Each structure stands twice: as structure tokens, then as C-alpha cells.
Structure 1
Amino acid sequence: MANVIDPVSRHADATPDNIALRGAESTLTYGQLRDASTRYAGALTEAGLSPGDRILLAAPSVPEFVVAYLGIQAAGCVVVPVNTMSTRPETEYVLADAGAALAIVWHELGPAIGDAASGLGIPVWALAPDAAASDAEPVPVAARDHDDTAAILYTSGTTGRPKGAELTVANLLSGGEIGAECSRGSSDDRTGTGLPLFHVFGQASVMMATFTGGGSLSLLARFDPAAMLALLRRDRLTIMAGVPTMWNAMLHAADGADSQDFTQLRIAISGGASLPGEVAREFESRFGCTILEGYGLTETTAFGTFNDIDRGGKIGYTGRAVPRLEVQVRDHDNVACPPGTVGEVFVKGATVMKGYWNRPSDTAAVLDPDGWLRTGDLGEIDADGDLRIVDRVKDLIIRGGYNVYPSEVEEVLYTHPDILEAAVVGVPDDHYGEEVAAVVATVPGSGLDGGELTSWARERLSAYKIPRIVAIVDSLPKGSTGKILKRSIDRTALKNDALTAEVPER
């Protein structure tokens, strides 16, 4: 029997006065965090919530999110974290699909989430800064089976309605243990992040890993590059985690930063999307800080592969399989590919989800009887055993019979001095089937136009990979973690409105 709060309870027994959480205006020790969480569990129990009940949680990355999250776990309930920017229809869908019994909503959020719950007759609790000071009686931590569902995280999926990935008690505990092992986390570490905790990256590989190691977690409720650097300095962070757009933003906005700010930082973790090599190289050159990239999915509790600390980062690769997991790349016949051959990535092990909530056919489509998860990602494993993610299977562009991997084109675009962000997508084309299109955000004051960019790319890419459709925008659409959302790019508008460059075939 076990519970997701167990790591916090262990450190509360051993080192109750060690700092567990730091917010903008508050801190909680391990003893205080356990007390606050078990009191929150007591409030849930007093309100009639029972083990197994699903509870929606909508809050930014503040200490109160952690108190409520662990309180839900301590009560034996199932947490259903959602994006704080969710619309009413999106929330209604999740509430109904999960069969939620309660919605807990951060007091400063707009009305959409609360109205969605109220409209469905579901009680709504406001989560306020005094959540840690509940006067409810603490309750004993619920003993749960390792295979019990602890969290349901809805995937954003490029097609169809979102599916709820069921993460078990064992998935989350294993994620924390793997994360702590990979980062060599200890009670001496001070981890900081601007990632949303309602996302699997922040929740599993940052929050759970920090509490497993016994260190402190500093939270930034809303990511801002200057604020992240201030957090780094204030709390003298030893571990920092983010997605590529965060590292890129820090690189371009951190005018007052220098390598001295990073001297105590021993590990910088990147995930959520492929890290452009140019960003990694510039970051290390400017700040003397190596970013270690990892790979995982919601369905694998954020884990899959990670670059080893001792070997350092291998630019363009996400490292080897982490402990307790196996990773394979397979061809169309489901046979393991030889090194250097692109195929679909499969993952098996301790953090692979239980399945999709109430969707047995969708579960069967991605999880085979032996426990291997089909990720939908294209990758290759080199002779060292390191994985390189090439692209999503669905993002692959087939132009005139040639495979074009958007990430490869983006990697080249990021080397242009005027480009801040880039996304490459395929748009329908009557002649080639698909045409390569690039949407880029440039540095302020840049005069770069589509024709110039296409000409520049001609010198660096094979003819079939050159973006012949180019759109210059102020910024690219991003999700809650800062990950660029290609599915939000209007392909039809690109085809009709963007500059189309005439580039000879060769």
C-alpha cells in the first residue's frame, strides 16, 4: 500500500524544518506541507468526498496548488488538473468525461471554470492563499494500491476530443524516484521552475522528483524570463527546469544576466519539445550552463530518456532510457530498427500509464499486451544508445514523395540571427501533395521578409526541404508550458495569404 504524498511524509518525519516550497510570498517546510495537505484532506473528507472520487484542480504554480494536490492524494481521491486558461466548453467536457465530484479553482481565475462546474451541478471550492491554514482536522493518509489511479491528465491531442491519461500511484512515485536519481537530487538542492504544475512535466519530473529527493521547490506562478532569472538569484537554484521557449526567452531577454548567475546551478533540464541546437549552444556559450534534454509524454508520466549528467548534453539528442524504462524505435512492421534508422518510438516500464480513462479501444490502440506504449513520435537511436526525436508521426511532411522532418528545417531556421521562434508545417498542395511552410517570429526591428528567408534557406537545405511558404508573425501560438502549438497554425490561411516563393527544384 502507498500514497503519492509518501515522499513528503518521509521528509516531514526526518527533517520537518527543511524548506519544501517557496512561493512569491510564502514558504512551507516539509512538516508544514504535510500538515496543510492532511488538513485539506480532512476538509475533503468532511465534505463527503470518498476515495476514488475525481476532483478537478485549476490553479497556477503556487504553493496552494501543491497543498490541494497532495490533499486530494492523502484523501485517496483522484486529481484532475486542468489548464488555468481552459474555456467553459473545454472544462465542461473534462468535468463530464471524468465524472468529477468537485472543482477546486484558484480564486483569481476568471469565471469560465467555476461556471462550467456550477452549470453541471458540481460544487466549486475557491482555492485561496490561506489554503495551508485550514482549520479542518487532519486525517490519516489513505492507503492505496500501487495500481490505483491517482491522477487523470487530459492530453491535448491534435485530433478528436482530449483523452484522460490515467496515472497510477506507482507511476507518480516511480516518476519522482527516477527524476531524483537522474538529477541526483538531495536535500541540499534548490529546484526552481516556471512550468505549470497542472502539466505532467512540472508535476512529475519537477515536483515529485524534488520531494522525493527532499530538496526545496521554488515556484514562479507565471513564467517571465526576467522573473525566472530573479528567482535563480534569490533562491540560488541548483536545478532549473523549463521548455525550449523558456530557455530561448531567457537567452534573448536576459540583458542583465551573466555567467555568475549560473555558477551554483548544477543541472538545467529541458523537455516538452525538441530543444533547438542553436539555443543550447548559445546558452552554454553565454552562461556557461549546459542544458540537458529529456524526452517523455503525459502517457509516460513525463519520463522516457534523459541525457546523463556525467556525459553532459549531446546536442540534438534526448539521451538514453532512464532507469526502469525501456525505449525502442520500430519500423512499419513493428521490428526494432538498427542504429541510425528512423522509426516510431515505443516505451515500456514503471511510468507508462494505466490507460485512457473509460476508453478501452483508444488504450488498446497505443498499449500492447506486453506493456509497450506506441508514442506516435518518430526517432532514431544512435550507436551510443541515445535517442533523437525527429518529429511527430502526424507532423511529418511528405512533399512530392520525399519525407521532410519539420524539426530539421526548424533547426536550420534557428541559426538565422533575426529569428526568435520558428514552426514548420505542411500545407496541402495540388502538385506535391504537401508544401513546406515556415511561420517565424523575428527580433524587434528586423527587416527580414519571406523572400529573403527562402533565399537564405536555399544555401542550407536540400531543395525539397526549403520553406516555399513563409509567414512573419509577432509571436507563435503557445500552450501552457510555453510549447509552440503547431495545431493552432491555420494551414489554409498560410496557403492563401502568405508569401509563396518560387524556388527552382534541384
Structure 2
Amino acid sequence: MLKTVSSKYPRISLVKKPKCNHYSTKLSYKHNLGEEPLRHITIGTLLEETVAKFGDRKALISRHQKKSLTFAEILDQTDKLASGFRSIGLEKNDRVGLWAPNLIEWYITKMACARAGLIMVGLNPAYQPPEMEYCINKVGIKAIVCADQFKSQNFYENLATVAPELEKSEPGKLKSGKVPSLQTVITMSENKKRGAFNFGEILDLATNDSIAQIRKYQRDISPDGPCNLQFTSGTTGKPKAALTSHFNMVNNGYLIGKRNELNRKHHTICLQVPFFHAFGTTISIMAALNHGATMVLPTDGYSPDKSLDAIKEEKCTIIHGTPTMYVDLVHQQEVRKEDISPEIAVAGGALCAPQLFKKMLSVLNVKKVKSVYGLTETTAVVFQSMVTESEEKAVSTVGHVGEHVEVKIVDKDGVVVPCGTPGELCIRAYCNMLGYWEDEAKTKEMIGPDNWLMTGDQFILEEDGYGKVVGRLKEMIIRGGENIFPKEIEEFLNSHPNILETHVIGLPHERLGEEVCACIRVKPGTKVTFDDMVSFCKGKMAHFKIPSKLKVVDEFPKTTSGKIQKFKLKDLPAN
């Protein structure tokens, strides 16, 4: 049974005048009504429509698997798998965990869950047994589809650690004390595993009649129904599970693709991000599906060298990645100097420094760099670069508010602030999640009774609808009564010729409350000392913003989706 807070509200609503005491100025409120209506369809119906338009076009090229599938072949495989799922007893709204790196089977499984009326749960392939136990129990996963191996991970062995009964069970009949909801394990291994089905076995269960039933079943799946559980990135603690609908994902994917110009020609996307993350699931998969774009998987994980190979050899016109990935890709291209000319680089998942934007344009030889900004809880994107905009807007903002989206910026008392004034970003839109799975209290903390979702991001809204992220409210450093936002210092230090990447954190200080600590990654063969950093900052920023501590790292601790885990930086020794 689904236990979430209702999010039923008008998709285009009449809005009462926001409460505000600043009547003489423009308020930080924007409602972008959109150029075309939202579509009330499911992911399964969208797949059928895409096949009708682009059936013979490549949907996916997996270079490491040496395989590719057209959209028509994807639909064929998807319906076989969906039929197999129903044959082994999976029913509407059952949760199916998908625990694998970027593989063709991942994509097929996602689509099969949508066609079978199941709720797919994207699981980080880096999760260890205790994390898997938490996720399985958090959302009541009934079946898990997992890879064989990825890097040092053996998925089956990890599941057997979580559920020791697996090795003595019949496939589909697991009964485990630690994870009572889990009944079925399906592996992508070529070898038979005790207590588990093989992926191919499930496909082979399909018959002409059962596939026909799946196709008829599409009319019984509601676009407003749940289809995806996305765990938050876990950068600050245990992840929550955001539930989204077909309607959320179809429309967010369409509008994302439109802003990223997928509707203008047939694009080929080099996908560096993991499928399981909102970037991969919505910004990449759903946008490509809406517009018939081809996705290229350079490898099952992440490798800037293999990304560069894919961009060159597959003639990719668009790149998807996080800022950290672009730092690495730019560095590799500086070394290799390949003859590449992709048209667009899309950056999301974290804030992108202006200095990095400029390097992406010059070093990667792209014509445009586009930003996307959003949250797991908003399906994916709410602010995004426009098709045409100035370089100043591209470099200094996270884009323009999306279509069919309302935003406002409020102070600590919930009062709407004037444009250009920092405050907390709040969002009310079709893309807001249905709620956190079986966590009414946390859902109410984030989404109020008026359906405004509070992001926790310190944000500035300009009069023209463009937005700027100042930083996370929880990351703000208060040093001796001065409010300091890490992003400002990070962007400045990233302009140092020897610094590749910077992340700024607050450390406890007996007298000041907090002090500023800069954590940096430097270019190979160079070094930056504490005195170098202070000298670089003096005269260019207020004295209280200059870091009093420096930590130099070889690699930043981060999630598989590329987000930096700032809470782990506090435990690293200072230089």
C-alpha cells in the first residue's frame, strides 16, 4: 500500500499575491506558464510513440558491451521482460530494485518496470551490504535485478551477505529474516546462481499471448501513478526515497530535452553519469526517449579517457556530466588534444564554476555549455539554460525557470524577498515528487500544505527569470557573526592556475564559532601551500572570507553520481 502525502493540485494554478512587505520593488516570484501543454501519458505509451517515429534509430550504444539496440528492439526486449516479471508473480506497484552500473540491461529493466506497472528503485552500484539492507527495508523491495560484477563489487555475494538464506532458496521463493520483503533475485550473470533467476530466463518466460497482455495492460496504468523511487544522494546521511510518477518523468524529460535542443535534430549523447541517478534517469534517459536521441555508454562506470574515445569515435554531439567529470575530461583533452567538436555540454548534479565553463568551451571545443538545476525531489530539473542566451547568463546563472514551474524566494520567516535578494528557493510544479516513501513527517517538512517545496538552497532570482545558487542553507558558514557562502570562495580559488577543484567547509572554532577551510585538488606536478592561497586571496576578498585552514587532497570523497560528500572532508587532516 502506498503511504505518501498527496500532491494533487492544479497544474496551472491561480496564485494569491505572495505575502511580502516590499511592495515598491519586484518580488522574487515567477510562474512560467509554458509554450505548450503538459502531456498526460505513461512512460510505456511514450516508448510506443517513440518507436512509431524512430523505430529503426539507435536508442543505445554500449561500447563496453559491444552492443547496440534500436528503439524498436528496446520495445521488443522490454515487453518480453515485463511479461516475464508478471509470470514470476510481480504485481502492480511492487518495488523492483535495479542494482547495476550502466548496462543495456539496466535500460531495458527500467522500461519493463514502467510497462508492467511496477515501481523501479534505482540503487547505487557502490552500495555495500548494510546500505542495501537499509534500502530494501526502507521501500519494501520485492525483487532485485542486479549485475554480476562491477569493479570490486560482486553483487550476488553481497546479497547473500544481506540474505544468507538466498543460497538455499528456490528462485523467487526467498524468505529472509533481515529483509522480509525480498522474494526474488535476478542476476545479469551468464552463470546460474543458487536461489536466483538469470536475466535471460525471465526473458524466455515470455509468450506471444503474455506479450499481447502487456500491450493491452498499458491502458490500465495511470500517468499519475507511481513508477520510480529515487534515493537521495546521501551526501549528508542516510538517503530518503523520493517517489515520482509517469507524469512527472515524461513531462520533465520532454521539457529538459527541448531546452537542450534534442528536438532540433538527431543528437548523439555521450553519457558519463550513472543511470541510477536523477541525471541519468530523467535528464538523459527520459529526455532522449522523448526526442529520439541516441545515448552512448563509454563504459559501465566512469572513465574520462573512455569518454573522450566515445566522443571522438561515435561523433557525439552532446556530452552529459557533473562538474567533477568535466574537470577530468578537460584535463584529459588538454593532454590528448583529440580532434573533437561536440555541440553542447550539459552540466548538472552540482554547481559548475565559471572558470570551468570557460575551459569547457575552449578545451572541449563545444559551441554551448548548458546548466541544469534541480533536485531528486523535483524529478530532475526546474532551472535550465535557454536555447539562446548570452555567455554571461550561461556562466553566471543556473539557467531560466522551466516551463509550467512556479518559483519564489523567501526569507527565514517565509516572506517573499525582492528580486536580486538571497533567500530560500521554493518550487511548486508538476515535477514535484509525490512524497518520500512512507515518511509523512519528512514529506511535510519539505512540502507544505500549499504544495510549495522548500529546497534548502540559498538562491537569487533575477527579474528576467534566471536564477543563481548562492549555496546550501545548511552549508552556510557563520564566522564571528559574518555569514559566508562557500560557493563564492570556491569560484574564486578555482581561478588559481594550479587549482583544479575547490570545496569550502566550516570547521568548529572556539572563539569565532566556525572558521573557513578550503579543500583543494591541484594540477599534477604542481603544489599550492597555505601561504600561496592566502597571498592569492589578499586584496581580492574580505579578510573574514579568506580560509584559515587548507586541506590538499588527491581525490574528493564523492557519491557514485559525482556529488562531493562534504561531511567527510571535515575528518581529513589539514596541511
TM over 0.5: yes
1:444 aligns with 2:524: yes
- Show the counterpart of 1:455: 535
Candidates 119, 132, 135, aligned match of 1:78: 119
Contact map agreement 1:390 1:407 (CA 8 A) in 2:
yes
5 Å-filtered alignment, 1:15-26, equals 15-24=54-63, 25-26=66-67
Structure 1 distance, partners of 2:108, 2:565, is: 30
Structure 2 distance, partners of 1:400, 1:68, is: 53
Give the structure-2-normalised TM-score. 0.82
Deviation track 1:65-105 (CA, whole Å, cap 9, x = no partner) reads 00011111111110011100001111101101111111111
Candidates 97, 108, 114, aligned match of 2:138: 97
CA-based RMSD of the aligned residues comes to: 1.9
Candidates 207, 218, 223, aligned match of 2:296: 218
The one-letter code matched in structure 1 to 2:454 is R
Offset of 1:274 from its aligned partner?
A: 0.6
Structure 2 distance, partners of 1:132, 1:380, is: 51
Contact map agreement 1:347 1:374 (CA 8 A) in 2:
yes
5 Å-filtered alignment, 1:83-232, equals 83-108=124-149, 109-110=153-154, 111-113=157-159, 115-116=161-162, 118=166, 120=179, 122=182, 123-128=184-189, 134-137=203-206, 138=211, 139-140=214-215, 141-142=217-218, 143-157=220-234, 159=236, 161-186=238-263, 188-220=266-298, 221-232=300-311
Offset of 1:272 from its aligned partner?
A: 0.7
Contact map agreement 1:36 1:131 (CA 8 A) in 2:
no
Structure 2 distance, partners of 1:301, 1:267, is: 22
Deviation track 1:20-54 (CA, whole Å, cap 9, x = no partner) reads 11101111011110010111111111100001100
Structure 2 distance, partners of 1:208, 1:469, is: 43
5 Å-filtered alignment, 1:342-353, equals 342-353=422-433
Q: Secondary structure at the match of 1:273?
A: coil
- Show the counterpart of 1:59: 100
Structure 1 distance, partners of 2:72, 2:552, is: 52
Structure 1 distance, partners of 2:134, 2:364, is: 44
Higher mean alpha-carbon deviation, 245-254 vs 217-226, is at 217-226
Structure 2 distance, partners of 1:425, 1:288, is: 33
Contact map agreement 1:67 1:132 (CA 8 A) in 2:
no
1:368 aligns with 2:461: no
The one-letter code matched in structure 1 to 2:302 is F
Offset of 1:396 from its aligned partner?
A: 0.5
Give the structure-1-normalised TM-score. 0.93
Q: Secondary structure at the match of 2:556?
A: coil
Describe the shift of the 1:161–1:250 C-alpha distance in structure 2 as closer, same or farther (beyond 3 A). closer
Describe the shift of the 1:113–1:401 C-alpha distance in structure 2 as closer, same or farther (beyond 3 A). farther
Describe the shift of the 1:158–1:282 C-alpha distance in structure 2 as closer, same or farther (beyond 3 A). closer
Structure 2 distance, partners of 1:302, 1:380, is: 19
Offset of 1:339 from its aligned partner?
A: 1.7
Contact map agreement 2:233 2:561 (CA 8 A) in 1:
no
1:419 aligns with 2:499: yes
Offset of 1:471 from its aligned partner?
A: 1.1
- Show the counterpart of 2:352: 275
The one-letter code matched in structure 2 to 1:353 is M
Offset of 1:438 from its aligned partner?
A: 0.9
- Show the counterpart of 1:469: 549
Higher mean alpha-carbon deviation, 146-155 vs 192-201, is at 146-155
Deviation track 1:232-288 (CA, whole Å, cap 9, x = no partner) reads 1222112221110111111112135558411xx332111111101111112213344
Contact map agreement 1:165 1:299 (CA 8 A) in 2:
yes
5 Å-filtered alignment, 1:394-433, equals 394-433=474-513
Deviation track 1:466-495 (CA, whole Å, cap 9, x = no partner) reads 110111121111211222221222x2x45x
Deviation track 1:139-188 (CA, whole Å, cap 9, x = no partner) reads 32543222211111111345553211011111111111111221231461
Contact map agreement 1:191 1:240 (CA 8 A) in 2:
yes
- Show the counterpart of 2:3: none
Higher mean alpha-carbon deviation, 44-53 vs 245-254, is at 245-254
Structure 2 distance, partners of 1:106, 1:158, is: 24
Q: Secondary structure at the match of 2:43?
A: coil
Contact map agreement 2:113 2:120 (CA 8 A) in 1:
yes
The one-letter code matched in structure 2 to 1:68 is T
Structure 1 distance, partners of 2:336, 2:386, is: 27
- Show the counterpart of 2:458: 378
Q: Percent identity?
A: 28
Structure 2 distance, partners of 1:412, 1:304, is: 26
- Show the counterpart of 1:503: none
Q: Secondary structure at the match of 2:451?
A: coil
Q: Secondary structure at the match of 1:484?
A: coil
Q: Secondary structure at the match of 1:249?
A: helix
Structure 1 distance, partners of 2:529, 2:495, is: 16
Describe the shift of the 1:234–1:131 C-alpha distance in structure 2 as closer, same or farther (beyond 3 A). farther
Contact map agreement 2:233 2:563 (CA 8 A) in 1:
no
Structure 1 distance, partners of 2:423, 2:336, is: 41
Contact map agreement 2:459 2:467 (CA 8 A) in 1:
yes
Structure 1 distance, partners of 2:228, 2:159, is: 19
1:250 aligns with 2:326: no
Structure 2 distance, partners of 1:372, 1:440, is: 36
Higher mean alpha-carbon deviation, 326-335 vs 137-146, is at 137-146
Q: Secondary structure at the match of 2:96?
A: strand
Candidates 381, 389, 396, aligned match of 1:311: 389
The one-letter code matched in structure 1 to 2:50 is H
1:40 aligns with 2:118: no
Contact map agreement 1:79 1:152 (CA 8 A) in 2:
yes
Offset of 1:457 from its aligned partner?
A: 1.9
Q: Secondary structure at the match of 2:409?
A: strand
- Show the counterpart of 2:467: 387
Q: Secondary structure at the match of 1:101?
A: strand
Please list every run of 5 or more consecutive structure 1 residues that lacks an aligned counterpart in the other structure: 500-506
Offset of 1:13 from its aligned partner?
A: 2.6
Deviation track 1:370-407 (CA, whole Å, cap 9, x = no partner) reads 32110011110123321000111110001111111101
Offset of 1:458 from its aligned partner?
A: 2.2
Contact map agreement 1:478 1:485 (CA 8 A) in 2:
yes
Offset of 1:113 from its aligned partner?
A: 4.2
1:286 aligns with 2:363: yes
Describe the shift of the 1:126–1:114 C-alpha distance in structure 2 as closer, same or farther (beyond 3 A). farther
